[in-house]
Amino acid sequence: MAQAQAEGLELSIDGDWSEQYIGGEWAGSESGETIDVEDPSTRETVAQVPSSTETDVDAAYEAAAEAQESWAEAPPAQRQEVLSNVVHLLEAHEDEIVELLGHEAGGSAIMGGTSVHLATDQASEASTLPRRMKGEHAESNIPGKENIVVKEPQGVVTVISPWNFPLNLSMRAVAPAIAAGNSVVLKPATNTPIVGGLLLAKLFEEAGLPGGVLNVVTGRGSEIGDRVASHPESDVVAFTGSTPVGRRVAGLAAENLAVPAMELGGNNAHIVTADADVGQAIDAATFGSFVHQGQVCISINRHVVHEDVYDEYVEKLTERAESLPVGSAHDPETVVGPIIDESQRDQMLEYVEETIDAGATLETGGETVDVEGVDDSLVVKPTVLSDVTNDMSAACFEHFGPIAPVIPFSDVDEAVEIANDTEYGLSGSVHAGDLGTGREIADRMDTGMVHVNDQPINDEAHVPFSGTNASGLGGYNTTDFLDEVTETKWISVQHEPREYPF
């Protein structure tokens, strides 16, 4: 891929995003209708994308099915080259993509840079997969028989991605699916159809991916979501989003016996014991609760703090929350920017109000912050709630906002009980002073991921990412998602005549 080509790729929010990508061609929707894309900071329409229809969805799956067989036969080196080119494009266009994330997802510069880094890591890891799809031989109980087990692509992979981290949460499914020889139909979230979908189409097209291997439809979930999730051409459905929606998507996928790969909700606990370094625990807590406005499935949803250090913890966390720069995502100093839309904002503020009504104390926040030139601001002030119990709304629900409910405990058994008292099991963190004690607590937490002396927001493409209980099915990263998008095939070869009983 020539450097000149990479430099010529147009990725500005002011570019033309009015066409979807099906069969290697850019075109409007079958209906001709469009969807407005709103900047959460300014509340202004900044782009329009196609309002895809079920006819468009059918065309996307037809193109994917047609392209998949030849792509599966492509040499590993060719598939690896495409993914390596995507890595180079992400690196070359980082600044433009960060700006896109600011306009569409309300992401601060910190969030945008992290998103590009994660997507680059995922594409880089995926580029190694074509050469790692190795089979094996197994001894046979039958004389003269050779057993061979091979990995083959599943076929057509459906990817339904969320709005909170749209770039990397699309890339972590799209890249390994394509690397393994599958074709993909990608349906990004309605709030973030550009960075979660059309951007990837442009990157993979520029990287040399044959037409039809990746297809992107940008319709509303309420109009095409069921058709995407239940399409008979789909062999795997990879979904990231809320547990209620995930249950429906998994059910629709199961009707066609498609493999469901579900990364769903979380209610992650940050346990701080009496022996913890409170300063370090607060540093971790501030990032883990407030980065990207708390709109992270693995963010801290509950701070579970020993009563001996509880008052100090609440005081320091409140001070840090009040010190964070808040406002428009387009201000380079902003740490806490806008919530994605008013429905999400209103829901989280309702949780705060219900929690206060139930007896909690509002230490700071609990309201929106005015943004110059914006009538109805989506920026929510970083919020700290004390005297919280596990059954209060801000603690028992995944609030998905810049909200820090702090729950006291008296001993480690109680802390673990509080942490595990949820239907979810995605991530968590522990600060216990002593590493051995921290590890013991981590072992007792019923989650797919736990981080000692850290906070729950961690993601590395070469390490498994998965949850337990209502937090999902299957796993992402490393070879875990490769197992989801491939199937094993047993081939036996009888080299000598076999004797049969009749």
Q: How far apart are CA 281 and CA 483, in angstroms?
A: 36
**Residues, the chain:** 502
The structure tokens listed for 150 are: 């091979």
Strand, helix or coil at 478? coil
Residue 375 CB coordination number (10 Å): 7
- Which positions are catalytic? 263, 297
Please, are residues 228 and 187 in contact by the beta-carbon 8 Å criterion? yes
Q: How far apart are CA 236 and CA 254, in angstroms?
A: 10
Please, are residues 362 and 385 in contact by the beta-carbon 8 Å criterion? yes
Amino acid at site 25: E
Q: How far apart are CA 442 and CA 271, in angstroms?
A: 9
Question: Which H, E and C letters describe 447-476, residue by residue?
Answer: CCCCEECCCCCCCCCCCCECCEECCEECCE
- Name the β-bridge partners of 361: 386
Amino acid at site 404: A
Q: How far apart are CA 251 and CA 43, in angstroms?
A: 35
Residues in CB range of 48: below 8 A, 6 or more apart: 17, 18, 34, 35, 36, 37
